[in-house]
Amino acid sequence: MFEATLLIMLFRLVALTIGFTLHELGHALASVYLGDPTPRLQGRLSLNPLRHLDPMGAVALFLMVTVGWFFAWAKPVQIDPRYYPNFRRGMILVAAAGPLMNFIVALMGAALYGIFNQLGMTGPLLSTFISILIVWNLVLLVFNLIPIPPLDGGKILAMLLPGETAFRYLTWGEQWGLGVILALIFVDLFIPGLPFSPFSLWFKGWFSGLYYLLDLLVPAPLPRPGL
């Protein structure tokens, strides 16, 4: 039992490390594609997790997979939007690239599971790891799409707002957004039974829809989601 628990923790650590690394790499690739050399000059065009993990965020990541800590982060990619041909469009593309990368990881995991299933090569360890890989990348995707800056979803929403409203929303998010997000998490965790929890509804709606989409794309039933 103890060995099984350690293995699950290891699977979670690997899945989240992959998710954080490729999420940040997605931002870097998109910004460089739009003409910004900053991520390349800072060494962020790399698959090396050490290039993307923040020291304190890595500690939080370890706590997340061992004791159930609920919040971890990677090192944000520094960008210079002045290089983008279109500022708003560029910001949207760069912000969306991180969550998109997490969906690609989940999709690749689902596709590999379908291939192994067709070959009769699936087993409990593989099913467990792929399930964790898919679920945690979808969690990263859905969390980062919350429309509150400084999260990616907040940046996308801001760039869709008219005129000065966009920059006011970004400024507000940089000052108060993280506090609002943490407050929503605390309310959801420590006040159970609420008739209406925006945080839970956001996660359940997006997560169930995305997992169902993956299930449709794979020619074999995906393993039961496991966190």
- List, by residue number, the catalytic residues: 24
- Calpha distance 9→20 (Å, rounded): 16
Furthest C-alpha separation in the chain:
57
Question: Which residue shows structure tokens 């907040």?
Answer: 154
One-letter amino acid at 192 equals: P
- What does each C-alpha distance from 191 to 41, 148, 188, 203 come to in angstroms? 46, 22, 6, 17
Helix ranges (DSSP H) in 34-160:
38-41, 55-66, 87-118, 124-144, 152-160
Question: How far apart are alpha carbons 103 and 85 in whole angstroms?
Answer: 26
Residue with tokens 């050490």: 50
Give the residue carrying structure tokens 């997560």. Answer: 207
Q: Reduced to 3 states, what is the DSSP secondary structure of residue 182?
A: helix
- From the list 99, 88, 119, the residue with the least C-alpha distance to 25 is 99
On the question of a cis peptide bond just before residue 124, with omega within 30 degrees of 0, the verdict is no
